[in-house]
Amino acid sequence: MTLIPPEIAIASRNLGKIREIRRICADWPARWVVAGEDDREWPEVEETGQTYLDNALLKAREVSRALGIPCVADDSGIEVDALNGGPGPRSARFAGDDATDEENLSLLVESIREHDVRAARYMCAAVAAWPDSGRHVYAEAKCEGMLITQRRGSGGFGYDPIFVPLDGDGRTMAELSPVEKDSISHRGRAFRALRDALER
């Protein structure tokens, strides 16, 4: 018997991430509640955790408590071998706390330009949390790849124009169609695994 709640909030204000989660979870039997489409006051959650799971839990729990309904959240990032696994959980703030995707991407390109080792991976922790009970379910996933310094493609967001997944055919994440990306991405894998965990 499914444990997927009939109404679920998405704890994010990142439009690219919201769009991907809704697309990946399009077959979930749930009504999605998102900031900007909901009149309630949504909390601003500071990502102070040391890990992706810490941050995803912070977001899911706080938004769930504030709205009084179950909530999903994810935290994701890119880990670059040449940068000793960085920027990791600070990927969205790589170029500063208020950095744009463009600023983060430009800094990463410059940071790897002189390195021969370009191995990297996208990481994602996806969490579902319920208000008040403290109950939560989570799943984690990754997507291995290589980085390039010449941007390619106009799809996706974040570091997608320079990330070439090993499971692909040499195209960057930004060159893949949404369906192709979701089938191999860290976020797609994490949310499919989260659904499996919810339905166990």
Q: Catalytic annotation on 98?
A: no
Residue 153 is classified by DSSP as -
Q: Is residue 19 part of a domain?
A: yes
Q: Which of 75, 84, 104 is nearest to 187 (CA)?
A: 75
pTM: 0.94
Q: What tens digit of pLDDT does each residue of 62-117 get?
A: 999 999 999 999 999 999 999 999 999 999 999 999 999 999 999 999 999 999 88
| Mean pLDDT (whole number) for 132-149 | 94
Active-site position among 74, 75, 160, 182: 75
> Which of 37-46, 52-61, 80-89, 177-186 is the least confident region?
37-46
Q: The domain spanning residue 50 has which CATH number? A: 3.90.950.10
Q: Which domain holds residue 91?
A: 7-198
The tokens describing 55, both together, are 């941050």
Q: Is residue 1 part of a domain?
A: no
Q: Is residue 56 part of a domain?
A: yes
- Quickly state the pLDDT bin for 118 (edges 50, 70, 90): very high
Q: What tens digit of pLDDT does each residue of 176-195 get?
A: 999 999 999 999 999 999 99
